[in-house]
Amino acid sequence: MNLAIAKKSKQNRNKICCGSKLPVWVKRDWQLYLMLALPIAYYIIMKYIPMYGTLIAFKDYSARLGVWGSKWIGLTNFKKILSEPYFYKLLRNTLLINFYCLLFAFPASILFALLLNEMRFKRFRKVAQTVSYLPHFISTVVVCGMITNFLRTNGGLVNDLIALFGGERISFLTKPEYFRGIYVISEIWQHLGWDAIIYIAALTSISPELYEVASIEGANRLQKAIYVTFPCIASTITIMLILRIGHLVSLGYEKIILLYSGTTYETADVISTYVYRRGLLTADFSYGTAIELFQTVISLILVLCANWVGHKISDTSLW
Amino acid sequence: MKRIKALAGKHKMNWFDYLNCLIMLAVIVAVIYPLYYCLIVSVSDGMAVTRGEVTWKPIGIDFSAYKAVFKNAQILRSYGNTIFYTVLGTLINLVMTALCAFPLSRRKLRGRHFLNLMCLLTMFVSGGMIPLYLQVKALHLLDTIWAIVLPGAISTYNMIILRTFFSNIPEELFDAAQIDGAGQFQTFLRIVIPLSKTIIATLVLFYAVGHWNGYMSSLLYLSDSSKMPLQMTIRKMVIQGDIASMTTGNMSGGVSETLITENKLKYAVVMVSVLPAVVIYPFLQKYFVNSVMVGSIKE
């Protein structure tokens, strides 16, 4: 009862002080809404209309008829995808390349952060940290340019070294068996330091008192690392892991497009690169979109599963 | 804190500390050496490079490769394009990101949760390469500069970083501004933006590096070679090895001589592209490290 009166009097007051019929939140915040106009337009035009555009995966797209006007063909594209043996190869490559990154590159940055944390010399630690960020600022194109030139059979740095030790020169980039290795190693080189930032941040927020207590209890450094440091950054690791798993099938194609060639498609061709070649270069829009939709669905399922598992095991989740 | 330092000081260096130093040294060398190698090859004497003598210091300083690079019309034009795309793109990024982040950081805004969700969702679900291409095409942006700068106008991740920063500004400042009769927009320009200089500097770095290094949108949306950015030129010359046009124009030597200069040229092109970022980033490091942390804090 009191509440109702209070509400009413507030409404009255608003009416009196503003002297118009506009609700108070519009009166107060119209400038904010005006500011939002452009960003909202951006999200609708560049994000949500393309999302609607994925409908062409179920249609026989023709540019003349547009997304809505094109003829429905139902699941024909998806049946075609599933019956194509090459699709399973793409799926395998996509998952394997990303799985290897998860297996090697992901722990590497955690380990790097932990080692930096244990570093005794402050100055040296600073230098190592700063230097490790450097590759993040170098473009993928340049990184791939260096890779292709270092791995060349004549005059390439790596092959020169192999030859120096009496080995046989290897044409690395044309042999499918080396592709994933090259990819993962260059990935570590590019992202080790940058990915470590977030763990370093988590490490610096650990209260020094925890370590003091541990010292008093007689813990040595390894024990402190296992029982104090690691539990304190476990939730950060879980979050990063969930995010990484969500991108398990979508990352890395920019680099692959630059590095692969016909002879390495066997291990290097992934869903996104195939979408680019088949969907855009040969203008098979509907089919390409269908494969990409497949990829989006897989990554959504993966991130939801990872989030659910993370929630169950360590009570950490994205939302 | 002092006590901790004292405690740490008492410890003797053990095998682990030495090993740790060794590992860090290895990381530093592994990061620096490839770039250093590019540098020394690009400034060394071509014959020495071919003989494989150039490994850890330049031999017979020779800047001819750089002269050729700076004389090459294609490189110069694409360099100019990249600078233009970076400046315009970053400017659009900043304005759009700030315009999006500020209203969404105000707790009283009606519909804020819905709008937030609308932005967040795009981080996990996207239309993908082809529908976006068709959209860009439908807007008649293909082969224009707008195809490079508009589709990525807001990075949702950066928007969240900025929003988190804005929402940590004390509420009293807004109250004071309101009492002084400032509208929301004025508050934004006169109070919020000046307070956010460091985070904006970081976003400038993130966005500018993205534009400087990006090649995917030009690969997808551009076909006119006079509009290509630097990265596409590098791709053509360094990865696909299409550098002959450059050497034959400037040199009049035999085949072997052309090969030698080609090799050096590639590395010189790499250095010219890498240098700006490498020179700038250590000075901004202090800021971006903090910002990545801010972004990691969940709301």
A209-212, Cβ contacts within 8 angstroms, sequence gap of 24 or more: A211/B4, A212/B3, A212/B4, A212/B7
Cβ distance B127 to A54 less than 8 Å, yes or no, reads yes
A38 at the B interface (CB within 8 A)? Answer: yes
Residue B252 has pLDDT above 60, yes or no: no
Residue B249: pLDDT band (50, 70, 90) is very low
Residue B113's CB is within 10 A of a number of other CB atoms, namely: 10
**Nearest Cβ partner for A50 among B24, B38, B132:** B132
B291 at the A interface (CB within 8 A)? Answer: no
In a domain, residue A13? The reply is no
Last residue of a domain, one of A18, A53, A74: A74
Q: What CA–CA distances, in Å, run from B298 to A191, B97, B183, B196, B204?
A: 23, 19, 29, 19, 22
Cα–Cα distance, B278 to A167 (Å, whole number):
35
A137 and A44 in a single domain? The answer is no
DSSP secondary structure code for residue A260 in this structure: -
For chain B, state the CA radius of gyration: 25
Residue B50 has pLDDT above 60, yes or no: yes
CATH 1.10.3720.10 range(s) for chain B read 63-299
Residue B10 has pLDDT above 70, yes or no: no
Cα–Cα distance, B55 to B140 (Å, whole number):
50
Percentage of residues in chain B having pLDDT higher than 90: 39
Domains of chain A: total = 2
Residue B229's nearest CA partner among B151, B147, B158 is B147
**Nearest Cβ partner for A258 among B35, B126, B239:** B239
The strand pairing partners of A251, in sequence order, are none
Cα–Cα distance, B297 to B264 (Å, whole number):
46
- Whole-prediction pTM value? 0.85
Interface probe with B: pick from A31, A33, A46, most Cβ of B within 10 Å? A46
* Secondary structure (H, E, C), chain B: CHHHHHHHHHCCCCHHHHHHHHHHHHHHHHHHHHHHHHHHHHHCCHHHHHCCCCCCCCCCCCCHHHHHHHHCHHHHHHHHHHHHHHHHHHHHHHHHHHHHHHHHHCCCCCCHHHHHHHHHHHHHCCCCHHHHHHHHHHCCCCCCCHHHHCCCCCCHHHHHHHHHHHHCCCHHHHHHHHHCCCCHHHHHHHHHHHHCHHHHHHHHHHHHHHHHHCCHHHHHHCCCHHHCCHHHHHHHHHHCCCCHHHHHHHCCCCHHHHHHHHHHHHHHHHHHHHHHHHHHHHHHHHHHHHHHHHHHCCC
Q: Which residue has the higher pLDDT, A265 or B257?
A: A265
A173 and A269 in a single domain? The answer is yes
B182 at the A interface (CB within 8 A)? Answer: no
Q: If you measure CA to CA, which chain B residue comes closest to A46?
A: B151
Percentage of residues in chain A having pLDDT higher than 70: 92
* pLDDT single digits (tens) A177-200: 999 999 999 999 999 998 898 888
* pLDDT single digits (tens) A282-318: 888 999 999 999 888 888 888 888 888 888 877 776 6
Residue A45 has pLDDT above 50, yes or no: yes
Q: Which residue has the higher pLDDT, B67 or B290?
A: B67
Residue B250: pLDDT band (50, 70, 90) is very low
State the smallest CA–CA distance between residue A151 and chain B in angstroms: 11
Residue B242's nearest CA partner among A140, A148, A158, A150 is A148
A94 and A207 in a single domain? The answer is yes
Residue A317's CB is within 10 A of a number of other CB atoms, namely: 16
Structure tokens at A308: 């659910």
In whole numbers, what is the pLDDT of chain B averaged over residues?
84
A178 and A97 in a single domain? The answer is yes
Cβ distance A47 to B212 less than 8 Å, yes or no, reads no
The mean pLDDT value for A40-60 works out to 93
**Nearest Cβ partner for A128 among B28, B100, B153:** B28
pLDDT the model gives residue B28: 95
Q: Which of A30-39, A245-254, B160-169 has the lowest mean pLDDT?
A: A245-254
Q: Which residue has the higher pLDDT, A5 or A244?
A: A244
What is the sign of the dihedral through the CA atoms of A113, A117, A121 and A122?
positive
The strand pairing partners of A71, in sequence order, are A60
pLDDT the model gives residue B299: 36
The mean pLDDT value for A128-133 works out to 91
Q: Which of A241-255, B110-124, B235-249 has the lowest mean pLDDT?
A: B235-249
A232 and A200 in a single domain? The answer is yes
Task: Map residue A71 onto helix, strand or coil.
Answer: strand
The range of the structural domain enclosing residue A62 comes to 31-74
In a domain, residue A144? The reply is yes
Q: Please, which residues 225-264 of chain A have a Cβ atom closer than 8 Å to chain B? A: 236, 246, 254, 257-258
Cα–Cα distance, A140 to B19 (Å, whole number):
32
Residue A121 has pLDDT above 80, yes or no: yes
Cβ distance A141 to B128 less than 8 Å, yes or no, reads no
Q: Which of A9-13, B191-195, B285-289 has the lowest mean pLDDT?
A: A9-13
* pLDDT single digits (tens) A23-34: 888 888 889 999
Residue B294: pLDDT band (50, 70, 90) is low
The mean pLDDT value for B149-166 works out to 91
The complex scores an ipTM of 0.86
State the smallest CA–CA distance between residue A295 and chain B in angstroms: 10
The strand pairing partners of A60, in sequence order, are A71
Percentage of residues in chain A having pLDDT higher than 90: 35
pLDDT the model gives residue B296: 53
pLDDT the model gives residue A246: 74
The burial class, CB within 10 Å (0-12 / 13-18 / 19+), for B189 is middle
pLDDT the model gives residue A296: 86
Last residue of a domain, one of A74, A105, A136: A74
* pLDDT single digits (tens) A90-120: 999 998 998 999 999 999 999 999 999 888 8
Which residues does chain B have within 8 Å of residue A39's beta carbon, measured at their own beta carbons?
Answer: 96-97, 99-100, 119, 154
What CATH number corresponds to the domain at position A275?
1.10.3720.10
A177 and A54 in a single domain? The answer is no
Cβ distance A137 to B214 less than 8 Å, yes or no, reads no
Interface probe with A: pick from B12, B55, B130, B289, most Cβ of A within 10 Å? B130
A305 and A273 in a single domain? The answer is yes
Residue B32 has pLDDT above 80, yes or no: yes
pLDDT the model gives residue B17: 87
A170 and A305 in a single domain? The answer is yes
Q: Which of B56-60, B98-102, B185-189 has the lowest mean pLDDT?
A: B56-60
In a domain, residue A4? The reply is no
A305 and A156 in a single domain? The answer is yes
pLDDT the model gives residue A289: 93
Cβ distance B3 to A212 less than 8 Å, yes or no, reads yes
A275 and A293 in a single domain? The answer is yes
The H or E element containing residue A60 is: strand A59-60
pLDDT the model gives residue A42: 96
Last residue of a domain, one of A74, A108, A127: A74
Residue B251 has pLDDT above 50, yes or no: no
In a domain, residue A19? The reply is no
* CB burial string A159-177: b at 16+ within 10 A, e below: bbebeeeeeeeeebbeeee
Residue A247's nearest CA partner among A225, A221, A271 is A271
A141 and A41 in a single domain? The answer is no
Percentage of residues in chain B having pLDDT higher than 70: 87
The burial class, CB within 10 Å (0-12 / 13-18 / 19+), for A63 is exposed
Which residues does chain B have within 8 Å of residue A145's beta carbon, measured at their own beta carbons?
Answer: 234-235, 238-239, 266, 270
Which residues does chain B have within 8 Å of residue A42's beta carbon, measured at their own beta carbons?
Answer: 96, 100, 150, 153-154
Identify the residue whose tokens are 């977030």. A198
- Domain B63-299 - what CATH class? mainly alpha
Q: What CA–CA distances, in Å, run from A9 to A2, A204, B108, B161?
A: 11, 51, 20, 40
Task: Map residue A312 onto helix, strand or coil.
Answer: helix
In a domain, residue A10? The reply is no
Amino acid found at B266: K
In a domain, residue A16? The reply is no
Cα–Cα distance, B24 to A78 (Å, whole number):
49
Residue B223 has pLDDT above 70, yes or no: yes
Q: What CA–CA distances, in Å, run from B66 to A229, B6, B62, B272?
A: 49, 52, 9, 8
The H or E element containing residue A96 is: helix A85-100
Q: Which residues fall within 8 angstroms of residue B130, CB to CB, at 6 or more apart?
A: A53, A56, A275, A279, A280, A285, A288, A289, A292
A115 at the B interface (CB within 8 A)? Answer: yes
State the smallest CA–CA distance between residue A279 and chain B in angstroms: 7
In a domain, residue A21? The reply is no
State the smallest CA–CA distance between residue B103 and chain A in angstroms: 5
Q: Please, which residues 189-228 of chain B have a Cβ atom closer than 8 Å to chain A? A: 209, 212-216, 219-220
pLDDT the model gives residue B93: 97
A45 and A91 in a single domain? The answer is no
Cα–Cα distance, B276 to B235 (Å, whole number):
18
A104 at the B interface (CB within 8 A)? Answer: no
The mean pLDDT value for B195-201 works out to 87
Cβ distance A201 to B21 less than 8 Å, yes or no, reads no
* pLDDT single digits (tens) B72-123: 888 999 999 999 999 999 999 999 999 999 999 998 888 899 999 999 888 8
In a domain, residue A297? The reply is yes
B275 at the A interface (CB within 8 A)? Answer: no
